[in-house]
Amino acid sequence: MAGAIPIETGIAPAVLETRSVGRLLSSNRKFVVGGVIFLTLLIVALVGGIVLGPLALRSGVFPPRLGVGAPGAILGTTSLGQNILAQLTQAIPNSMLVGLLAATIGTVVGGLLGLFSGYFGGKLDAALRVLIDVFLAVPSLLFLILISSLLRGLGVPAIAVIIGAFAWAWPARAVRSQVLSLKERPFVQVGMLSGLSGVEIVWGELMPHLLPWLGANFINAFIAAILTESGLSILGLGSQRDMTLGMMIFWALNYGALLQNLWWWWLTPVIALIVLFLALYLVHLGLDEVANPRLRTQG
Amino acid sequence: MIFWRYVYERLIICIATVVISVTIVFFAPRLVPGDPLGAVTLKLSQMGGNRGSPELVAEYSRRFGLDKSPVEQYVAYLRQLAQGDMGYSIASFPSTVGDLLKGAIPWTIGLMLVTTVISWSLGSIIGGVVGWTGGRSPLLQALVPIALVLYTIPYYILAIVLVFLLAFYWPIFPLTGAYTIGAQPSLTPGFIFDIIHHAALPALSIVLVSLGWWFLSMRSLIVSVKGEDYMTWAEAKGLPRGRIFWGYAFRNALLPQATGLALSLGHIVGGQLVTETIFGYPGLGYLIFNSIKTLDFPVIQGSILLIIVSVAIVNFVLDLIYPLIDPRIRYGAVARS
């Protein structure tokens, strides 16, 4: 459901100066709290990964099924004797990488398509509109299942790219409808009359209005991508080589951690995912409030 | 005239969805290096099976039409699909893909209908009441952060926690399946109870998460309706509070809520597929999961196509219905947006 966060379409937010955006964001409690949690997770995981070293990921380093608080493996071990803490230090940055790559691809591709489709109109726009509606209607998880069941043995970045390739429809539609309404505004008309080229108007006049919204959408896509990756992993289509939070859950379920009462094995990635989602959601709410002044006044 | 133009546009999108997905489903396996049959036999041999002699492979290619050009194959594939023929399953060979799908569909549709109806109506009612009464009851206000957390969590995460708590730790509900193994499907009260007993946990995990979402969106809809002029007018007329809420606020907020239902269909389907996997619930999601494990590609293709085509058709029907129930959406306006 996280992908269905409602987006205020149609209203163009006022252009914000870069400096005032920074000030607004740093005084927005939701944004700051979410951002701090996110960064803490990332830094702790990265530093932890360096401290533990690559050897800690091997199976059999520890006795199997150690409970929480075991010396050297404070979060316990799997039934293969893998250190769950070490897995977590690899899984958190990898899951974040999936979100970052997929959201970047989806937002950039979708944003550009929507921008040019909405601005230039014509036949290209008509075709793109059908294409956008098609990809909005189809649960993209299905195409992803199809593709990743064919291409086994992919790494985390490749999976992220594939997820991103199916994440452009929402931004494309929303940007397109915003551009359609912005195009009728006087300042764009003035730009056209004064002989600016199409590209100049798109970048100079339209882009500043779209950026705050694209930022909020980026976080939204970030959440959706992590969600999709973990869903794919639980279906058995994740990266077999690298650890992500979804793959940790997959392996735990696969080896019957639930039924053997090895709760630390499945609960660790579950809690990590929930914390990550909440942090990102707070950042999203904060960005939304800054991008959309109407939400800000409501508190 | 505008109505027919709108219908025509929606129909184009519905048909485009089906055509594009059939094309992707057909060509995706052929874009992977190696021929499709070779890929299957290679994977089978990697799993410890027999790769088969070259003559056998050649015979199979001829029989499956793999020696023809891709375009000819595509046309043949379309013709087969039109006749409802999706080929044979590899893992459970004598069964066709159609047989397997027929076995799985009722479970998926049943679970989805029940959970969607429950979560949508409950979420709308509770959200409406909380939005209406505003900050007066701290108990009701406490529901907002709870709903936020629930809605941020994906279905399957909650599913795992529920399996652990209510099926393993306190074994109130069964761990997997849709009915007790060996039970004879019949319309007896005992068997019906068995089915409900097995469906309860998957349903609960889906309902709890989506409830949070419908609750939040209804709450904000009611809050915005509260500021409308006709609400002030109704109050000024001295209408009873209950009448104002149900007849004015709730009814008007319900329409966008129905539109939201149509828009989130894709997410509902996707979430349900993964949830079924965790509960071993024998619907389409679990079928796909098992087919992935056994590399049963025709079944994966068939299930994916079936779901996409159904979603496209349901979307088309909903697109036609909701301007009828919401007169504020005009066909022309929708068509232009």
| Interface with chain A: mutation pick from B274, B317, B334, highest number of A CBs within 10 Å | B274
Nearest to A236 among B267, B289, B304 (CB): B289
Q: Name the more confident of A159 and B323.
A: A159
Average pLDDT over residues B48-70: 65
What tokens appear for A46 in the block?
């990265």
Q: In this complex, do A235 and B210 lie within 8 Å of one another by their Cβ atoms?
A: no
Q: Give every CB contact of residue B153 below 8 A, 6+ residues apart in sequence.
A: A274, A277, B209
Give the pLDDT confidence of A15-39 residue by residue, as tens digits.
555 566 677 777 888 889 999 999 9
Task: Answer yes or no: is pLDDT of A96 > 90.
Answer: yes
Q: How far apart are CA A92 and CA A247, in angstroms?
A: 11
Provide the token pair at B304.
Answer: 């994916």
For B158, which residue in chain A has the nearest alpha carbon?
A: A270
Cβ within 8 Å, pair A142-B304: yes
Do the beta carbons of residue A188 and residue A132 sit within 8 Å?
Answer: no
C-alpha distances (whole Å) from A164 to each of A154, B30, B152 are 15, 22, 21
Residue burial A145-167, b: 16+ Cβ < 10 Å; e: rest: bbbbbbbeebebeebbebbbbbb
Residue-wise pLDDT tens digits, B108-149: 999 998 999 999 999 999 988 888 887 677 777 788 888 888
pLDDT confidence bin for A180, thresholds 50/70/90: confident
ipTM: 0.77
CA distance linking residue B252 with residue B254, whole number of Å: 5
For residues A98 and A162, the answer to whether their CB atoms sit within 8 Å is: no
pLDDT band at A6 (very low <50, low <70, confident <90, very high): very low
pLDDT for A125 equals: 86
Any bridge partners for residue A83, and if so which? A77
The pLDDT assigned to A265 comes to 87
Query: Least CB-CB distance to A235: which of B12, B267, B288?
Result: B288
In tens, the pLDDT along A242-271 reads: 889 999 999 988 888 888 888 888 899 999
Q: Which residues 247-286 of chain A have a CB within 8 Å of chain B?
A: 249, 253, 258-259, 261, 263, 266, 270, 273-274, 277-278, 281
Separation in Å, CA of B268 to nearest CA in chain A: 7
Cα A261 to Cα A253, A267, B15, B36: the distances in Å are 11, 11, 49, 42
Q: How far apart are CA B116 and CA B211, in angstroms?
A: 9
Which of left, alpha, beta for B296 (phi over 0: left; psi -120 to 50: alpha)?
beta
- Helices marked H in A194-262: 198-200, 207-234, 245-254
pLDDT at A2 over 70: no
Average pLDDT score over chain B? 80
Average pLDDT, chain A: 82
Pick from A3, A134, A277: which is nearest to B20 by CB? A134
A3, A134, A270 ranked by CB distance to B160: nearest: A270
Spell out which residues of chain A touch residue B217, defining contact as CB-CB under 8 Å: 6
pLDDT of residue A11: 44
* Predicted confidence (pLDDT) at residue A207 exceeds the cutoff of 50: yes
The answer to whether B152 contacts A142, with C-beta atoms less than 8 Å apart, is: no
- Contact predicate B175/A259, CB 8 Å: yes
Contact call for B17 and A134, based on CB within 8 A? yes
Largest CA distance in chain A: 75
DSSP state of A3: G
Q: Which residue of B has its CA nearest to A245?
A: B157
pLDDT at A4: 43
**For residue A236, which residues of chain B lie inside 8 Å, CB to CB?**
289, 292-293
* B262-278: average pLDDT: 83
Nearest-by-Cβ selection for B304 from A145, A177, A230: A145
**Under an 8 A CB cutoff, do B217 and A281 touch?**
no
